[in-house]
Amino acid sequence: MNRPVRSMHGEWTSRWAFILAATGAAVGLGNIWKFPYITGEYGGGAFVLVYLGCILLIGVPVMMAEILIGRRGRQNPFNSIESLAEEDERSPLWKYLGAMGVLTGFIILSYYSVIAGQALAYVFRVLGNMFEGVTADGARSIYVDLINQPEKLLAWHTIFMVLTMIIVSRGVQRGLEKSVRFMMPALFLILLILVWYAYQQGNAFQDAVNFLFTADFSKLTPAGVLTAMGHAFFTLSLGMGAIMVYGSYLPQKTSIFRMTLAISAMDTIVAIVAGLAIFPLVFANGLSPGAGPSLIFETLPIAFGHMDHGVLFGGLFFILLVFAALSSAIALVEPVVTWLVENFDIKRLNACIWVGVLVWMLGVLTVFSFNIGSEWTIAGRTAFELLDYLTANIMLPLGGLLIAVFAGWVMRRSSSEAELALWPAFIYHGWRFLVRYIAPAAILLVFANLTGLLF
Ligand code: PHE
Ligand code: NA
């Protein structure tokens, strides 16, 4: 099988379009919903430090590897890896790494959509002025009231899935490029307004800064380290081929290294700013940082309920959060959809319908795990917790490990060198060192540490 010179699905109109789309894929619920609550659960500063270390030493080199594989293969992850393996005379079995990614994205979207649905529900709660002057207890009971009703969660989940599939069926380039261009800056602006509000909470802001940036390693468990590493993959959309597919639409001349730095930097900044907006509210209102997935829904409404123009800012915030989730959701399905279109001669629209229906069905498990199925657990985890753990903590790092090995050890040096086209040469050497040794070793160490094989 020869690799095509261009993707059959087209190409980004410019490198800016790629940065926007890839940043859109990266910035999502992971930054604003997940990062704060897992940081809260695992005790703050030390967890943040491990997460930042993973972004730099694992995330950056693996993202470069994904983009280079995608751009060289110019197809969905499965076929791209297959044709690169063939070109460099390696085992065809590597293509199953692409297949694993396709499956991982499918599973992640099933619960991602349910959480995005909750954000969608909050647009209307805020606009309906439900939070005026709300207390911490009031905000909590409004959230509990929502998740206790399976039919409501199901309806919002359905709406979000339909929106996602409509965008994907029209092709990633059309529409998406334009929407991301104004959404991202607007979302960022509102986050800054929230930080400004949080800053006025006096000592609580200082407490939040200390919580986020003072590392107390005695609080860090092996499970926390694994979660931090898994989240580095999740937040950058790595380990499952999403960035790979986006790379397959990247014009040949663009610098993969610079794109990677820009995307990782923006994603990290948004996560930290979200933390600075949320934790002051946690401390000012005597809430627990370890509240879990409900954290943003319990904290931010308090801010919107008390600040000037809270309804306006709050409404806008949740609308933008839904858009940020949408631009990530389409990246989660793009690998599955391109795989179907390229290999089974299915029209894009039909592929979207099938994938959408199946993902929706799996999502029902997550819907129930918040209410009637909250007692259905395996190893103490609900369906939602299980799917999240399996994908973010196991499948993404495993995918990332294999991608690093493929790019660093399996592909010929001449191939990766030509595709990255890095200058000065030491940048290529640095990348190669990270992707061959540091990233795989770090991932393996974290896995080993978890199973108690170490220490
Ligand atoms: N990066 C997205 C977020 O932070 C989630 C995501 C993971 C998107 C994997 C695409 C692929 O919300
Ligand atoms: Na992210």
Q: What is the pLDDT of residues 29-62, one digit of tens each?
A: 999 999 999 999 999 999 999 999 999 999 999 9
Domains of the chain in sequence order: 15-450 (1.20.1730)
- The Cα 266–Cα 35 span in angstroms is 14
Task: Return the ligand number nearest the Cα of 392.
Answer: 1
Distance 161 CA to ligand 2 centre (A): 19
- What is the residue with the minimal CA distance to atom 7 of ligand 1? 237
Rounded to 5°, the CA angle 203-47-230 comes to: 135
Distance 163 CA to ligand 2 centre (A): 20
Pick the atom of ligand 1 nearest to 238's CA. Answer: 9
Rounded to 5°, the CA angle 150-105-240 comes to: 155
Is the per-residue pLDDT at 455 higher than 80?
Answer: no
DSSP 8-class letter at 94 = G
Q: Are 268 and 28 in contact (CB under 8 A)?
A: no
Distance 372 CA to ligand 2 centre (A): 30
Residue 381, helix vs strand vs coil = strand
Task: Return the ligand number nearest the Cα of 63.
Answer: 1
Is the per-residue pLDDT at 176 higher than 70?
Answer: no
DSSP 8-class letter at 261 = H
Residue 202, helix vs strand vs coil = coil
Pick the atom of ligand 1 nearest to 29's CA. Answer: 12
**Which pTM was predicted?**
0.96
Q: Are 247 and 4 in contact (CB under 8 A)?
A: no
Give the pLDDT of residue 2.
74
Task: Choose among 428, 445, 417, 452: nearest CA to 53.
Answer: 445
Tell me the ipTM for this assembly. Answer: 0.99
The average pLDDT across 142-152 equals 97
Task: Choose among 63, 55, 96: nearest CA to 77.
Answer: 96
Given pLDDT bands bounded at 50, 70 and 90, which one contains residue 163? very high
Distance 31 CA to ligand 2 centre (A): 5
The average pLDDT across 307-323 equals 91
- What is the residue with the minimal CA distance to atom 11 of ligand 1? 237
Q: Are 390 and 379 in contact (CB under 8 A)?
A: no
Give the pLDDT of residue 295.
96
Task: Choose among 111, 136, 280: nearest CA to 208.
Answer: 280
Q: What is the pLDDT of residues 413-454, one digit of tens each?
A: 999 999 999 989 999 999 999 999 999 999 999 999 988 777
Collect all residues with Cβ–Cβ distance below 8 Å to 56 and sequence separation of at least 6: none
